[in-house]
Amino acid sequence: MIRHVGYCGAIIVCGAMLLACAPRNVSFSADVQPILKQRCMECHVPGAPGYIASSFDVSSYETLMKGGKYGALVIPGDPLTSTLNMLVEGRANPSIHMPHGREKLSDREIETLRVWVQEGAKNN
């Protein structure tokens, strides 16, 4: 019985830590842009291969929200259906995960992008 209580306690503590560690109030300029700059801009600016293939330019908030040749890739408030989140999370076909042919984003970076979209994909 004591073991059992200890186990539940551990779950509660872990749950609280996860909540405390998850990013909240994500800022576009302070949190999101540095990730795009480091991991996406190599290919997603005019003239680079990702842009040539998809017309998706991540160099400003406006172009990011405009999306690619098939339209919006970020749906404010809806990371589940946002193509950008699908691709960085590897939820789409693995051959088109992003960054293309590069190491996956860290869990923290993925979560930052997810929470930013969830919170409305604001230019904050």
Tokens of residue 120, six digits = 């409305």
The number of beta carbons lying within 10 Å of the beta carbon of residue 13 is 10
**How far is C-alpha 31 from the chain's CA centre?**
11
Q: Which is nearer to ligand HEC, 39 or 114 (CB)?
A: 39
Stretch that binds ligand HEC, among 8-16, 24-32, 45-53, 115-123 (CB under 6 A): 45-53
Stretch that binds ligand HEC, among 3-11, 14-22, 23-31, 66-74 (CB under 6 A): 66-74
Classify residue 26 as exposed, middle or buried by CB count within 10 Å of its CB (0-12, 13-18, 19+): buried
Shortest spacing between CB 21 and ligand HEC, in angstroms: 21
CA distance 100 to 52: 13
CA distance 30 to 98: 21
The residue whose two tokens read 């992008």 is 113
Q: Which is nearer to ligand HEC, 9 or 77 (CB)?
A: 77
CA distance 40 to 102: 10
Q: Which is nearer to ligand HEC, 67 or 119 (CB)?
A: 67
Shortest spacing between CB 95 and ligand HEC, in angstroms: 7
73 touches ligand HEC by CB under 6 A: yes
> Interface residues with ligand HEC (CB under 6 A)?
39-40, 42-44, 49-50, 53-54, 56, 68-70, 73, 83-84, 87-88, 96, 98-102, 105
